[in-house]
């Protein structure tokens, strides 16, 4: 079973439909801690502000449930804001603590260029032999974000894109993954990457 976590700020329908198109028949959208902890894989989507999202996660108890889930060793995928929430903190509208599953900080783009970063950008696989990229080629995916994650550990950085600087696109540590772009809205490569995550759930390969 795949649990798509509903904490009031995710693009739940598009993620749910994408998972369904990939052949998953037992995905559920849930805000129930017990259902989450029983799932074989979990997806944490997100649209909106970091601080509001963490407030909702704390108020519902889902923040602790996500941490417990990650500690269980079962695959967890954060998408867009959901990826940023995996990190230690964000500077969006003041300092806000994150789930702290990945050490690092989320910062606003700074420079003489358009913010938000919006559009199709090519991925560069920093760890091309990672199971998430098995059989895949680098290509373009769709980004919409004003803040970007800066992992503390280089080993957690799986893929980047270029937007006036290297920008974190995919992260991973053990069973915890994040994608800054929306894979469900990113054409064939996005769906392939989402499918690779679902394969990791099915196979529980060594991560």
The pLDDT profile of the chain, 207 residues, written as one tens digit per residue, is 999 999 998 889 999 999 999 999 999 999 999 999 999 999 999 999 999 999 999 999 999 999 999 999 999 999 999 999 999 999 998 999 999 999 999 999 999 999 999 999 999 999 999 999 999 999 999 999 999 999 999 999 999 999 999 999 999 999 999 999 999 999 999 999 999 999 999 875 433
- Please name each of the domains of the chain with its CATH number: 2-203 (3.40.50.880)
145 is catalytic: no
Angle at 27 between CA 21 and CA 30, to 5 degrees: 130
Of residues 80, 92, 145, 148, which has the active-site annotation? 80
- The upper half-sphere exposure of residue 59, i.e. CA atoms within 13 Å in the direction of its Cβ, equals 9
Active site residue 184: yes
Give the pTM.
0.95
Instruction: Please give the structure tokens belonging to residue 205.
Output: 């390969």
> In sequence order, what DSSP letters do the residues of 94-106 get, joined into one string?
S-EE---SEEEEE
Catalytic position from the list 117, 145, 148, 182: 182
């Amino acid at each position: 079973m795949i649990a798509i976590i509903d904490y009031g700020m995710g693009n739940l329908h598009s993620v749910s439909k994408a998972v369904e198109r990939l052949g998953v028949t037992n995905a559920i959208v849930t805000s129930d801690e017990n259902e989450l902890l029983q799932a074989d894989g979990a997806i944490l989507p997100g649209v909106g502000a970091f601080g509001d999202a963490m407030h909702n996660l704390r108020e519902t108890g889902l923040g602790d449930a996500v941490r417990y889930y990650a500690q269980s060793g079962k695959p967890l995928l954060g998408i867009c804001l959901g990826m940023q929430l995996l990190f230690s903190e964000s500077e969006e509208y003041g300092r806000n603590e994150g789930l702290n599953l990945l050490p690092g900080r989320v910062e606003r783009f700074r420079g003489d260029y358009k913010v938000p970063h919006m559009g199709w950008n090519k991925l560069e696989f920093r760890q091309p032999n990672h199971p998430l990229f098995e059989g895949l080629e680098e290509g373009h995916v769709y980004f919409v974000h004003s803040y970007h994650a800066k992992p503390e550990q280089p080993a957690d950085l799986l893929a980047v894109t270029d937007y006036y600087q290297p920008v974190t696109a995919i992260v991973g540590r053990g069973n915890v993954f994040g994608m800054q772009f929306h894979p469900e809205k990113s054409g064939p490569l996005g769906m392939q990457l989402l499918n690779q995550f679902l394969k990791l759930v099915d196979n529980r390969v060594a991560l």
